Amino acid sequence: MHRNHQATLTAAALLGAAVTLLAGCGGGPPPGGGPSSPGPSSAGCPAALAKAAAAVRRAESTDATWTGPTTGPAAVPGKNLVYVAQTMTNPGVAGVAKGVQEAADAIGWQVRVIDGGGTPAGIQAALSQAVTLKPSGIVIGGFDPELTSQQVAQARAAHIPLVGWHAVGSPGPDESAGLFTNVTTKVEDVARISADWIIARSHGDAGVVVFTDDSIPFARNKSELIKKELAGCPGVRLLAYENIPIPDAGSRTPQEISSLLARFGNRWTDSVAINDLYFADAAPALRAAGAPGSGPPFNIGAGDGDPSAFQRIGSGQYQAATVPEPLSQQGWQIVDEFNRAFAGRPASGYVAPVHVATSANSRGATSWDPSGYREAYRRIWAPPGS
């Protein structure tokens, strides 16, 4: 990526000033990148800061007990699933597929994965193939059912239940989309905790850049919710709203980072992105400008929490936190939801609580894998009297 040499030097100088300023005013994070206790700047929004800090403490916990279902139908035997993946190069989609396969082994079912390759035509062909196989159930893995409305109609006509993962914007059953249920965290919760992390980390005194993709309604909604939560603390200022389509992130993000550094200098203390991938693309530009890997800016991803994000966080390289999906647990939940459908029971209604991963609480892990769910589901599926 070509850059103006003088602009790069200026950006580096500004970032150096930012580090000095933040060190002097106590604005840096505690070890591990998590929020620290309220400091002198909390006077601007004491109520919002206290609420944010409490929420982040809960979300950073790694020893929470299982809050999902503990009762349900025993395993319905002899079933087979087809997992239609938006693309298996998407770490979130692939992580859930792995969880589905693991859970299917535990319940005694068969699973086949068909990769849509990330294109509308490929996804439509994959779902057509899945319907032709006449499985017991089909997973809509990470794509909008509207993209495949014809194939969804065929599946419904064949009485094949569909369970989605990130297929629509909200968790739970969606009759209009043809889904028995959709497994995902709540976008409102993800957006809120991402903003709260910034409020808590900065003691309510931050200059924030938001990275999003307004061409995706779900992403636009998430970023608007983030902005709304940030606005609850007057000391947190929105410096820029960067609308960068995800397919263009690799080429555009480095250029935008250089521009933002030149425009805002030490006023830019924090960033939040609707997906971790923006920080993968931002890291080279921040490094070239001389920004410290541990921040500022302190970056949090309101995304899936893919392995590369955990690696950046663990090594202190231009990302401080992420709000990860519990991908394996969601794979097990998908299998349990199908079991409920096969048994003529309603969906469980379970929605995983949000989690914030930092270097302090992830301890070298490359995914968020809460405890307790495997044992809980195995107990539910066990034959009566066993």
How confident is the model over 108-137, as pLDDT tens digits?
A: 999 999 999 989 999 999 999 999 999 999
Q: What is the dihedral of CA 98, 104, 110, 111, to 10 degrees?
A: -30
- Cα separation, 132 vs 126, in Å, equals 10
Name residue 114's beta-bridge partners. Answer: 84
Sheet containing 172-174: give its strands across: 110-115, 80-85, 137-141, 162-165, 179-183, 172-174
Q: What are phi and psi of 366, to 5 degrees?
A: -115, 15
- Cα separation, 262 vs 252, in Å, equals 16
Do 34 and 61 contact (CB within 8 A), yes or no? no
Q: What is the dihedral of CA 334, 155, 340, 382, to 10 degrees?
A: -70
pLDDT of 65 reads 86
**Alpha-carbon distance values, 205 to 21, 35, 45, 57 (Å):** 13, 13, 9, 19
pTM of the predicted protein model: 0.83
Do 301 and 278 contact (CB within 8 A), yes or no? yes
**Alpha-carbon distance values, 159 to 134, 179, 205 (Å):** 10, 12, 54
**Alpha-carbon distance values, 252 to 4, 120, 211, 281 (Å):** 16, 24, 11, 9
**Alpha-carbon distance values, 69 to 99, 333, 375 (Å):** 17, 9, 11
Residues 6+ apart with CB under 8 A from 105: none
DSSP single-letter state for residue 41? G
Do 322 and 307 contact (CB within 8 A), yes or no? no
Q: In which residue ranges of the chain is pLDDT below 50?
A: 1-43
Token reading at 176? 């209009």
Q: Are strands 179-183 and 137-141 parallel, antiparallel or unpaired?
A: unpaired
H helix runs in the chain, sequence order: 5-25, 46-60, 91-107, 120-132, 149-157, 187-201, 217-230, 249-264, 277-288, 307-315, 327-342, 359-362, 373-381
Do 201 and 36 contact (CB within 8 A), yes or no? yes
Q: Is the dihedral of CA 169, 175, 178, 179 positive or negative?
A: positive
Cα R_g (the chain), whole angstroms: 22
Do 326 and 357 contact (CB within 8 A), yes or no? no
pLDDT of 2 reads 34
- Cα separation, 322 vs 263, in Å, equals 26
DSSP single-letter state for residue 357? B
- Cα separation, 117 vs 128, in Å, equals 14
Sheet containing 270-273: give its strands across: 236-243, 206-212, 270-273, 298-301, 321-322
- Cα separation, 250 vs 247, in Å, equals 7
